[in-house]
Structure 1
Amino acid sequence: MDGARVTYTAEGIEFVGRLFEPAGSGPAPGVIVAHESPGVTEHTLAAARRLAGLGFVALATDYQGGGEVVTDRAEMGRRYAMFMADPAHIQARLGAALEAVKAHPRTDASRLAAVGFCYGGTAVTELARTGADLKAVVGFHCGLSTVRPQDSAKITGKVLMHIGAQDPTVPAEQRTAFEADMEAAGVDWRLLVYGRTVHSFTNPEADSWGMPGFAYSSDSDARAWRATEDLMREVGLVG
């Protein structure tokens, strides 16, 4: 596994991320990249590499613990339920990851972002709800619900969510509730919905899983990344 090994702790657990530096030697913006539910995989690393290529100090962020990739779906569901029931757990874990990327000598701590995939996108939104100083928050094919919508008023950065129109895990009513939440909180937000697109549409491995409603879409993947790069330019994180 490439990238520099970075450890950090929260809730009495050690987490193992992988950090990628941009070219050059000067200060750079920092970004945490929160993985799909199982853990840090090649998909997560590829996203972190891509962001480093844009000029970020990018940390592929572990929130399962020990760098573990969870393969037992029942255990994965148990952890997901814990995170959803009480966002304080994931907020503590991603908060520690954010501090880890801020501690890197090249990171400009005034220029930070968070990007997440699947539950990782939900997770970075929950981190933003703590009032974390994030210029941009981006979620790809992620759940949009929260048990604490009142905390959305604490979001300081711009929010961008990418959702497949046929994603079975994010029904239309969840999108509508998210829109109402963001509007009520006064957040600068956008929600992009991609037609003929389902869950995990950025992950080329999704086609091999044999799971209905999960599939890669090269077109939607490319479009979502172009929109993400546009937001990063808009907020002044990349040139």
Structure 2
Amino acid sequence: MTIVSNTVGYLDGDIHLEAYFAFDDALEGQRPVVLICHAWGGRDEFVAEKARKLAELGYVGFAVDMYGKGVTGSGPKENAKLMQPFMEDRALLQKRILAALSAVKLLPWVDEKRIAAIGFCFGGLCALDLVRSGANIAGVVSFHGLLIPPSLPTKKIMAKVLVLHGNDDPMVPVDHVLALASELTDSCEDWQIHTYGHTMHAFTNPVANNPDFGTVYNKHADKRSWQSLLSFLDEVFC
């Protein structure tokens, strides 16, 4: 196993973006790719580490950039400021994530017929909006993602969908979960929502430890959700 990682630039209009990717150079030929959508703070070491973990499993891990090359937030106030334009303009969000999908298909190691996307928090919303746009990919997984529906009409969802949600997540009220279930029933042939009891927002992030804000790491939900992801990828890439 020889894990190689690097960054690659791409464009959304005149916005310069920079993704981080990793793959096992000891493997030959093209292989499935997993797009990884970052949380509200921007493309950081958390998603880079996920890219490397996926590379160790034989995938190309591709951590997308939603904000622009080198743009990351320094805390909740700045993170919210960076995220807000995409929350207010979901067409902009879908255009930006589709730019990442176009970029990853240019990598020579990628089998463009076997693409999935995952996302964390804000990134979960990005991953879901990618398939809401009608993108023809194999599957999408949201980890403690925001589930606010877009004002845009949802196109037929081609992918299988898996949503991994904390029951005590204060940022995702029950009505958002129910609304998503109703939306997916109408637009998606194969969907799942897994809810973890006594689990708050950001349950996969080991540094999340702010119960007053609603972000708390949960090692059991973290492990279970990762295992669910791996089983899901085995299924959609078979």
Is this a same-fold pair by TM over 0.5?
Answer: yes
Unaligned runs of 5+ in 2: none
**Among 166, 182, 185, the residue aligned to 2:184:** 182
1:36 corresponds to which residue?
A: 39
Equivalent positions of 1:1-239 (< 5 A) are: 3-22=5-24, 23-148=26-151, 150-151=153-154, 153-207=155-209, 211-236=212-237
Name the TM-score, length of structure 1 as normaliser.
0.92
CA gap of 1:150–1:88, structure 2 versus 1, over 3 A, is closer
**Matched AA of 1:48:** A
Q: Distance in 1 between matches of 2:137 and 2:80?
A: 28
Unaligned runs of 5+ in 1: none
CA gap of 1:68–1:79, structure 2 versus 1, over 3 A, is closer
Q: Distance in 1 between matches of 2:153 and 2:185?
A: 12
How far 1:211 sits from its partner (Å)? 4.9
Name the TM-score, length of structure 2 as normaliser.
0.92
Contact in 2 for aligned 1:120/1:139 (Cα 8 Å): yes
Q: Distance in 2 between matches of 1:25 and 1:67?
A: 32
Looking at secondary structure, tell me which structure has more helix per residue.
1
**Matched AA of 1:181:** E
Structure 1 runs (4+) greater than 4 angstroms displaced:
none
Q: Distance in 1 between matches of 2:52 and 2:122?
A: 20
Number of residue pairs the alignment of both structures matches: 234
Task: Give the alignment's Cα RMSD to 1 decimal.
Answer: 1.7
Q: Distance in 2 between matches of 1:161 and 1:210?
A: 22
